[in-house]
């Protein structure tokens, strides 16, 4: 019981450190997770992401049930219909994380400014919003865009923290692991 309580306390501490950083992102603060292994940080970030994704999934179900947005036309559905599993894995687990991290997390360390907070959030939110193109663009999709890309904004924030704390290679690695957890079971299920 004490071991479980200790793990919960460490997880809560990691969550609190993510929140503290997100309140005031600072390019110079590289000691956010001192005392924690990268594996614990990655696992904690994944748990945070998937708990929030679960909440977003419930919201998405409500939105779809109410007829505001159809997820049948989502780009991932078409990807799974049009391409073989190995291409889906290659694109989703390797190509997308590298390209997206180079574009959305790579440049953020170039902005050594007092207004770094705006740069940090700009890249995270832009990363999320670019994923709206996965939907057929309609008025409802545009109105609901902040909700529909909420999971990508959250992962963009987590990736930004990992980028600042550990470097670009680690944000690419985390992104690949995250996508792999989502994509590989789906590919195995479809075969």
Mean pLDDT (the chain) is 93
CA angle 11, 15, 16 (to 5 degrees): 115
The span from the CA of 38 to the CA of 44, in Å, is 10
Q: The dihedral of CA 6, 15, 76, 167: what is its sign?
A: negative
8 A C-beta contact, residue 175 and residue 94? no
pLDDT score of 191: 65
Q: pTM for this one?
A: 0.93
* Percentage with pLDDT > 90 across the chain: 80
- Does residue 90 surpass a pLDDT of 70? yes
Confidence of residue 79 (pLDDT cuts 50, 70, 90): confident
| Number of independent structural domains in the chain | 1
Q: Could you report the per-residue pLDDT of 20-35, keeping only the tens digit for each?
A: 999 999 998 888 998 8
In terms of residues, how long is the chain?
191
Instruction: Please give the average per-residue pLDDT across 55-76, as a whole number.
Output: 92
Q: Could you report the per-residue pLDDT of 109-167, keeping only the tens digit for each?
A: 998 888 899 999 999 999 999 999 999 999 999 999 999 999 999 999 999 999 999 99
Task: Give residue 79's domain range.
Answer: 2-190
- Does residue 51 surpass a pLDDT of 80? yes
CA gyration radius, the chain: 17
Q: Which residue has better confidence, 130 or 73?
A: 130
SS3 state at 29: coil
Instruction: Please give the average per-residue pLDDT across 43-64, as a whole number.
Output: 95
């Amino acid at each position: 019981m004490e071991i479980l309580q200790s793990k919960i306390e460490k997880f809560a501490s990691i969550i609190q450190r993510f929140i503290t950083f997100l309140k005031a992102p600072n390019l110079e603060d590289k000691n956010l997770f001192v005392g924690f292994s990268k594996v614990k940080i990655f696992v904690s970030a994944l748990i945070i992401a998937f708990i929030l994704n679960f909440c977003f999934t419930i919201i998405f179900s409500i939105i779809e049930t109410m007829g505001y947005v159809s997820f049948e036309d989502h780009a991932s559905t078409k990807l799974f219909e049009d391409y073989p599993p190995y291409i889906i894995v290659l694109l989703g687990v390797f190509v997308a994380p590298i390209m997206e991290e180079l574009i959305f997390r790579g440049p953020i360390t170039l902005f050594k400014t007092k207004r770094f907070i705006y740069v940090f959030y700009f890249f995270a939110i832009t990363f999320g919003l670019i994923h709206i193109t996965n939907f057929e663009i309609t008025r409802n999709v545009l109105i609901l865009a902040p909700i529909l890309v909420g999971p990508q904004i959250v992962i963009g924030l987590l990736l930004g923290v990992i980028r600042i704390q550990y470097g670009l290679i680690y944000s690419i690695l985390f992104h690949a692991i995250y996508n792999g957890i989502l994509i590989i079971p789906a590919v195995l299920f479809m075969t």
